[in-house]
Amino acid sequence: MGFKSGFVSIIGRPNAGKSTLLNALLNEKVAATSPKPQTTRSRIMGIVTDSEAQIVFLDTPGIHKPKNKLGEYMESVTNQSTSEADVLLYMTDASEFDIRRESEILGGIASPVIFLLINKIDKVQKQDILPVISGMSSVREFAEIIPISARNREGLDELLICTKKYLPDGPKFFPDDTLTDQPERSICAELIREKALHVLDDEVPYGIAVVTEKMTFNEQKNLTSIDAVIYCEKESHKAIIIGKGGAMLKKIGTAARFDLQRFTGTKVFLRLWVKVSENWRNNRRHLSDFGFN
Ligand SMILES: Nc1nc2c(ncn2[C@@H]2O[C@H](COP(=O)(O)OP(=O)(O)O)[C@@H](O)[C@H]2O)c(=O)[nH]1
Ligand SMILES: [Mg+2]
């Protein structure tokens, strides 16, 4: 058997666990995850290389109706990743199964090889998985059906074995140790945004963007210094993000620093600023400043 390589897109409704799966496959957090829908905004590549194959996984924004230009961008990202894939992984959340909403999405997908990943099986009883399988199989045919728990890394070996069966023979596209195409600075920004999503309530998080402005490494001290700006849409949001006496911003910073230290493998000195950029989600120039283009 020759060496195999190819592209595998992870798609599905928001919150299914797509980004959690990507991180689990890589053993490294490259994609932000949160219980809030629309956490993932752009295409994030995660590369798994072993002696038999190189699989390039593409995490995508969840499929939903766009409400602004950022939403339209997210939709185009998903459509593009879907059309480029050798294998599509359609992920559904076994604990929140809604056949009507799933079939609305699945109906629009024309792909040769599509797997059904039934995620979050750690949250449901075994007998609750069967209706998901039969419901989804009535909508369309799947090449493979694999129950997994992305969070607990259950079913991932089977997923990799099955995926390889459907990949064409091909060369390595990336060096062995490449994990992602995301620049270090954007991963740092995403880790910070993830913490903000976790601690902030409802309305504010959807309107934030994080930009790493400066990142320097002091080898002697094994210390990475990071300056990042959290952009939000309104003065009132800025006040919420900073919090009383800076308490909220401190909470975000402390949580982020923990992940940033693990990611960089160094100590981290993190400085965060909060700025207002009104209505940036509908402003082409701001979208491109924040890396959505
Ligand atoms: N219990 C459980 N929770 C999960 C699992 N996979 C993801 N989650 C959670 O589901 C939420 C959404 O995950 P995320 O990866 O951001 O979903 P995405 O929008 O599809 O990328 C997060 O709170 C995850 O921790 C799983 O296998 N089991
Ligand atoms: Mg995601």
**Stretch 95-118: mean pLDDT:** 86
Identify the bridge partners of residue 11 per DSSP, sorted by sequence position. 90
pLDDT at 38: 77
Identify the bridge partners of residue 118 per DSSP, sorted by sequence position. 92, 147
13 and 114 co-located in one domain: yes
37 and 147 co-located in one domain: yes
Q: Candidates 11, 15, 121: which one to mutate for ligand 1, based on the most atoms within 8 Å of Cβ?
A: 15
12 and 143 co-located in one domain: yes
125 and 196 co-located in one domain: no
pLDDT at 71: 78
188 and 145 co-located in one domain: no
pLDDT classification of 239: cutoffs 50, 70, 90: very high
**Stretch 150-158: mean pLDDT:** 97
In a domain, 12, yes or no: yes
Q: Give the tokens for residue 130.
A: 């069967």
Q: How many angstroms separate the Cα of 257 from the Cα of each of 78, 81, 268? A: 30, 31, 6
With CA atoms as reference, report the closest residue to 122 among 97, 86, 150, 81: 150
> What are the pLDDT digits (tens) for 270-282?
999 999 988 888 8
- Own/partner long-range contacts of 151-157 (Cβ < 8 Å, ≥24 apart): 151/17, 151/20, 151/24, 151/120, 151/122, 152/122, 153/24, 154/121, 154/122, 155/121, 156/21, 156/24, 156/25
State the closest ligand 1 atom to the C-alpha of 59, by its place in the atom list counted from 1: 21
pLDDT at 214: 93
Last residue of a domain, one of 165, 194, 219: 165
State the closest ligand 1 atom to the C-alpha of 40, by its place in the atom list counted from 1: 21
pLDDT classification of 291: cutoffs 50, 70, 90: confident
Indicate whether 165 pLDDT > 80: yes
CA of 77 to the centre of ligand 2 (A): 13
In a domain, 223, yes or no: yes
Indicate whether 268 pLDDT > 70: yes
In a domain, 247, yes or no: yes
Last residue of a domain, one of 111, 133, 165: 165
Indicate whether 65 pLDDT > 80: no
Higher pLDDT, 34 or 94: 94
By the 8 A CB rule, do 290 and 209 touch?
yes
In a domain, 179, yes or no: no
pLDDT at 34: 86
127 and 200 co-located in one domain: no
pLDDT at 15: 92
In a domain, 220, yes or no: yes
Please provide the average confidence, as pLDDT, over all residues in the chain.
90
pLDDT at 282: 83
Nearest CA owner, ligand 1 atom 28? 120
Count of domains forming the chain: 2
Output the domain CATH number for residue 256. 3.30.300.20
Q: Candidates 26, 33, 59, 77: which one to mutate for ligand 1, based on the most atoms within 8 Å of Cβ?
A: 33
**Stretch 117-137: mean pLDDT:** 95
pLDDT classification of 251: cutoffs 50, 70, 90: very high
CA of 221 to the centre of ligand 2 (A): 34
**Stretch 57-74: mean pLDDT:** 80
146 and 36 co-located in one domain: yes
Q: Candidates 18, 63, 151: which one to mutate for ligand 1, based on the most atoms within 8 Å of Cβ?
A: 151
Q: What is the percentage of the chain residues whose pLDDT exceeds 90?
A: 61
Indicate whether 145 pLDDT > 70: yes
**Stretch 78-91: mean pLDDT:** 84
SS (H, E, C) the chain: CCCEEEEEEEEECCCCCHHHHHHHHHCCCCCCCCCCCCCCCCCEEEEEECCCEEEEEEECCCCCCCCCHHHHHHHHHHHHHHHHCCEEEEEEEHHHCCHHHHHHHHCCCCCCCEEEEEECHHHCCHHHHHHHHHHHHHHCCCCEEEECECCCCECHHHHHHHHHHCCCECCCCCCCCCCECCCHHHHHHHHHHHHHHHHCCCCCHHHCEEEEEEEEEECCCCEEEEEEEEEECCHHHHHHHHCHHHHHHHHHHHHHHHHHHHHHCCEEEEEEEEEECCCHHHCHHHHHHCCCC
Q: Which ligand is nearest to the CA of 147?
A: 1
With CA atoms as reference, report the closest residue to 226 among 236, 211, 239, 212: 212
pLDDT at 194: 93
* Ligand 1 surroundings by CB, under 6 angstroms: 14-20, 33-35, 39-40, 62, 119-120, 122-123, 149-151
Q: Model's pTM, two decimal places? A: 0.85
In a domain, 171, yes or no: no
Indicate whether 74 pLDDT > 80: no
23 and 126 co-located in one domain: yes
What is the rounded CA–CA span in Å between residue 114 and residue 50?
Answer: 23
pLDDT at 293: 66
**Domain span at residue 69?**
4-165
**Stretch 152-169: mean pLDDT:** 97
State the closest ligand 1 atom to the C-alpha of 37, by its place in the atom list counted from 1: 19
Output the domain CATH number for residue 36. 3.40.50.300
pLDDT at 116: 97
CA of 85 to the centre of ligand 1 (A): 22
97 and 27 co-located in one domain: yes
pLDDT at 229: 96
**Stretch 212-233: mean pLDDT:** 94
55 and 17 co-located in one domain: yes
In a domain, 42, yes or no: yes
pLDDT at 17: 96
CA of 79 to the centre of ligand 2 (A): 15
113 and 77 co-located in one domain: yes
* Residue 281 burial by Cβ neighbours in a 10 Å radius (0-12, 13-18, 19+): buried
By the 8 A CB rule, do 280 and 272 touch?
no
17 and 153 co-located in one domain: yes
Strand 114-119 versus strand 144-147 pairing type: parallel
Last residue of a domain, one of 137, 165, 193: 165
In a domain, 95, yes or no: yes
The angle formed by the CA atoms of residues 239, 241 and 242, to the nearest 5 degrees, is 65
